[in-house]
Structure 1
């Protein structure tokens, strides 16, 4: 349950609100501050927040600038001599926050990320301070993630779309959407959101259309509209997100499992596959003729074919046989995707 404040803790309220007003040119609304406080477990009404914001701006103590050009006022802060201008983050904390912001951008509900905006802003400002924290700032230039696939520019996902989708998923509410598929056909419907899956540069919503009993995945960048409704989304009791990913069309798979037999010459490839096996069913042995023999139960996919084509010459691949597995999907611990 969120913390509820009374008049005896007004100082705490002011500090919590102040922490969520950026010292920058970016304005935040009272609604955004209330949502951020709520996500942090702090319950305060919009009307009370607006009252505190007016008092704080009128006092002139905190450097608060109020944008009155719109009916929904925006607030930001200018740098003052006040100790309240700084959250006092250490350089290593700033570094972690900046890395987390980049890598968790589509891994957390939009509302949760927005509740941390004041921390992200503080971290960025601290790292960008002239002449300070050079080692920490430069560290961001020394860390990189390399994809095993060909790099592509991520498709544009409208922030309001991601915020609505993540909110509906988080709150377990139905979404009213307008979606254009790969063939250009536009559909308006209500969907029950079940999960988000990021595959390389694309983000997909796993959902069920209203009045249907099967799951589908829709690319977020193809959404034209997404509105959270007040109606609860019924989550199927037997739905498992990881199972859906394994059994459907992600990783360019048709969902079929195979017993894969691979024979190759390269000791280096054998070392790599020993260090990072496909999954726990993998068996790798070297024959008396010096040829390596690998067997593993794995999903058949275009990525698997691509792996064979890419390493055929360098690994000295002599044989690649796929034997269909009949019946239930094998229970395997570990990732079942080609590297």
Structure 2
């Protein structure tokens, strides 16, 4: 009788374990079978069930049998399962990543990553003081004014993640800015974007083709439905972002920007230029420089320039200069009025 190699079964089991989410998220047995089929593991539903039952005797897996189909998850607080285990240098990267992400992500998002950070702490501790001390010698400081991030419901985060992962529509309860009540929507999730600590869902509403941006912290519910996600023809998340959609674009084409800038803050532009065609020309008094660059015409550009106050004078384009003149006059009137209070 020929000997059958156990290797295909072992690889299938590893693939299954990697696709079972950590609590409180679940994956159903049919969804797990579909995920395996996408990896060219052709098995019937009964085989998947037997595999899960066997694996649960070894690994901290939990099966929710309260409804059908049954749902599976890794128990919360369990060790991170990965092969091969991370080495000390990889653990250090995880440690620094945690320090960087902590001020940027809502608590619920950080909680999903905590098992990996705890694993990194354990590896660094086992590696001795020399390697572990690196984490005491590096700090990550946020740029700009630090704001307290709004939290995102863990169930919302899990629902959106599952919708994106399985390519399915999601039913959400969403409250728009300035509104008092939540409204129910059926959406096609297309991608997630983290910007300034806020998590945006790029999506379309069912029956519509215009692309929207929804903030996850304004959602109260996100439930995956058994309908495939409808992706607009030619949609690409990178292309969408490159079109300045997250910079609140004012129009096209890009504008030739020219402005006077005090020399001291302008020094940063030598290392981090505004564009590939940027030119900085020192002026006669040496206190100022003139900067020219071709940039996107966005609200983000305006916020950046306004952040330097009286250290910047916009010269061109004329329309932008007039816009800044109006802002300066409004601010002058505002502060003049406050002096009389």
Normalising by the smaller structure, the TM-score range is 0.5 to 0.7
Match of 1:152 in 2: 147
Bigger mean CA offset, 153-162 vs 256-265: 256-265
- Of 290, 300, 311, which residue of structure 2 is paired with 1:293? 290
- Of 2, 5, 8, which residue of structure 1 is paired with 2:6? 8
> What does 1:28-177 correspond to in 2, within 5 Å?
43=41, 51=50, 88-100=85-97, 122-128=119-125, 132-177=127-172
- Of 270, 275, 278, which residue of structure 2 is paired with 1:279? 275
Q: Give a deviation string over 1:31-88, Cα, whole Å, max 9, x none.
A: 69x69x9599595777656656766777xxx6x6787998678777999xxxx99965
- Cα RMSD of the aligned pairs, angstroms, is 4.9
Q: Secondary structure at the match of 1:230?
A: strand
Q: Secondary structure at the match of 1:190?
A: strand
| Distance in 2 separating the partners of 1:140 and 1:123 | 11
Q: Give the total of aligned pairs.
A: 299
Displacement of 1:216 in angstroms is 1.3
Given that 2:282 and 2:289 are in contact with CA atoms closer than 8 Å, whether structure 1 keeps it comes out as yes
Q: Give a deviation string over 1:115-152, Cα, whole Å, max 9, x none.
A: x98766543432355xx533443433433333333111
Displacement of 1:288 in angstroms is 4.8
Q: Give a deviation string over 1:185-225, Cα, whole Å, max 9, x none.
A: 42212112222221111011111111222111000111111
Q: Secondary structure at the match of 2:267?
A: helix
Q: Secondary structure at the match of 1:239?
A: coil
> What does 1:141-220 correspond to in 2, within 5 Å?
141-184=136-179, 185-220=181-216
Q: Secondary structure at the match of 1:250?
A: coil
Q: Give a deviation string over 1:151-178, Cα, whole Å, max 9, x none.
A: 1122111222222223322333222211
Q: Does 1:226 align with 2:189?
A: no
Q: Say which structure is richer in helix.
A: 2
TM-score by length of 1: 0.65
| Distance in 1 separating the partners of 2:76 and 2:207 | 49
| Distance in 2 separating the partners of 1:217 and 1:127 | 40
Runs of 5+ unmatched residues, structure 2:
321-341
| Distance in 2 separating the partners of 1:237 and 1:57 | 42
> What does 1:312-323 correspond to in 2, within 5 Å?
312-313=309-310, 316-323=311-318
Q: Secondary structure at the match of 1:221?
A: helix
Given that 2:77 and 2:115 are in contact with CA atoms closer than 8 Å, whether structure 1 keeps it comes out as no
| Distance in 1 separating the partners of 2:291 and 2:166 | 46
> Could you say if the C-alpha distance between residues 263 and 70 of structure 1 is closer, same or farther in structure 2, counting changes exceeding 3 Å?
same
Runs of 5+ unmatched residues, structure 1:
1-5, 21-25, 326-339
Given that 1:248 and 1:255 are in contact with CA atoms closer than 8 Å, whether structure 2 keeps it comes out as no
Given that 1:247 and 1:255 are in contact with CA atoms closer than 8 Å, whether structure 2 keeps it comes out as no
Match of 1:336 in 2: none
Q: Secondary structure at the match of 1:262?
A: strand
> Could you say if the C-alpha distance between residues 285 and 299 of structure 1 is closer, same or farther in structure 2, counting changes exceeding 3 Å?
same
